[in-house]
Amino acid sequence: MTCKYCSSKLGPLRSLTDGEFCSDLHRQAFYQDQVRTAREQEPSQATTFDSEPVQAESVSAPPNTEHEPVAIDRVTNAVADVPATELPENDPPAPPIRKGPRRLASSWTWLATAWKTAPFELKALALLLPILLGVIASPHLHKVGAHIQKPDPNDLRVRTRQAISDQWKGLAKRISNRAAIAITDDFRSGLDFWESRSNLTKSWSFDANGFVQPGPLAILTPTQDLADYSFEFLGEIERQAMGAAFRAQDLDNYYAIKFIRDDSNSMPALRLVRYPVIRGKEGPHVEVALPSSIRADRMNRFRVETHGGDFIIVVEGEVVDSFSDNRLEIGGVGFFCSRGEKARLRWVEVSHQYDTLGKVCAYFAPLSLAGIEKN
């Protein structure tokens, strides 16, 4: 990209800070030239431009009037009577610009500020990336000898290597902890990664469109070691209710929510009932009525946000309930329908730290989940 006034090439950082000009003075000079050209083409108009960007504009009075020309200030919107003879006819030329040192200093200042405010993990990845690329591109790698000698713990080189190894393990752990997690299942590959007391091939079923119809409680096993996450699914209640579980440590310890269909009115509505299950026993039930805009006779998008001991339940983008409970700190997600209940699910997704930095960290510390789609 080049400056529109002097055609000098702009640096990549300069183009971000000053747009299409190498400096503010050149931007002002460019606009002054445009105004001067317009004034030459229309000599009846008297327009002024000061050294600052557009501040004042003078216009002559309309014909067949006895008033003096007036100047209109665009900043203060003030109108004052001034003689037409005080309007300048020619603008002074723009002073020369010293581009080199000042442009370079501004770029380095921007880089220094960005580096200071960047997260630790991003700094570490920026330093490690050239090393990893060099190792990958190297045509020769060191060969490891077959002779193994017990290292001397008092050797300075051994202690140095051990210290570097410990630092590397700590850094790798931090990157792994910051890595993004996204586990999705659309049930097209079966139910191999779901755990239940019953035989899922008989107790769960599929309809003609590929939607799964839950039965007794089943837990998505790759999610059981997670703590804080967003649990989202798309489903429809066909008869009575549909249940979901989260922070499920096992089949006897989890938080349960049930969405109950209410057909008492002309427009089917939904109610929410939540309760904990500890050691196989259900705790107190809490019932919440959902907004009338959420209908039970169509597919709805449900989401549960877990963070520490705080939980938020969202339906179709509306927060419908929130509560706190510290008894279960980790655990996965699952679904269930009791006898007489019928629902169908299209997909489920569990995600955590799914931002740009999390995706970069996940590239260096991937989480392998065979058979489950991981982004």
* Span 180-214, pLDDT tens digits: 778 999 998 899 999 999 999 899 999 988 899 99
Residue 341 sits in the same domain as residue 259: yes
Out of 5-19, 53-67, 96-110, 299-313, give the one with best mean pLDDT: 299-313
With beta carbons less than 8 A apart as the criterion, state whether 261 and 270 touch. Answer: yes
Instruction: Tell me what the pLDDT averaged over the chain comes to.
Output: 75
Domain encompassing residue 327: 181-352
Query: Would the CA dihedral through 107, 110, 114, 116 be positive or negative?
Result: positive
pLDDT > 80? residue 16: no
At 60, the pLDDT band (50, 70, 90 cuts) reads very low
Residue 21 sits in the same domain as residue 101: yes
The answer to whether residue 357 is domain-embedded is: no
Residue 134, class by beta-carbon neighbours within 10 Å (0-12 exposed, 13-18 middle, 19+ buried)? exposed
Residue 329 sits in the same domain as residue 229: yes
The answer to whether residue 251 is domain-embedded is: yes
What one-letter code names the amino acid at 229? Y
Q: Give the rounded percent of residues in the chain with a pLDDT score beyond 90.
A: 39
Half-sphere exposure of 170 (CA within 13 A, CB side): 7
- Tell me what pLDDT residue 29 has: 79
Phi, then psi, of 205 in degrees rounded to 5: -145, 170
Domain total in the chain? 2
pLDDT > 60? residue 279: yes
Nearest CA to 335 out of 228, 191, 225, 202 is that of 191
pLDDT > 50? residue 303: yes
The answer to whether residue 347 is domain-embedded is: yes
pLDDT > 50? residue 116: yes
pLDDT > 70? residue 314: yes
- Tell me what pLDDT residue 170 has: 73
The answer to whether residue 147 is domain-embedded is: no
User: Is residue 226 helix, strand or coil?
Assistant: coil
At 67, the pLDDT band (50, 70, 90 cuts) reads very low
Calculate mean pLDDT across residues 102-124. 69
- Tell me what pLDDT residue 360 has: 76
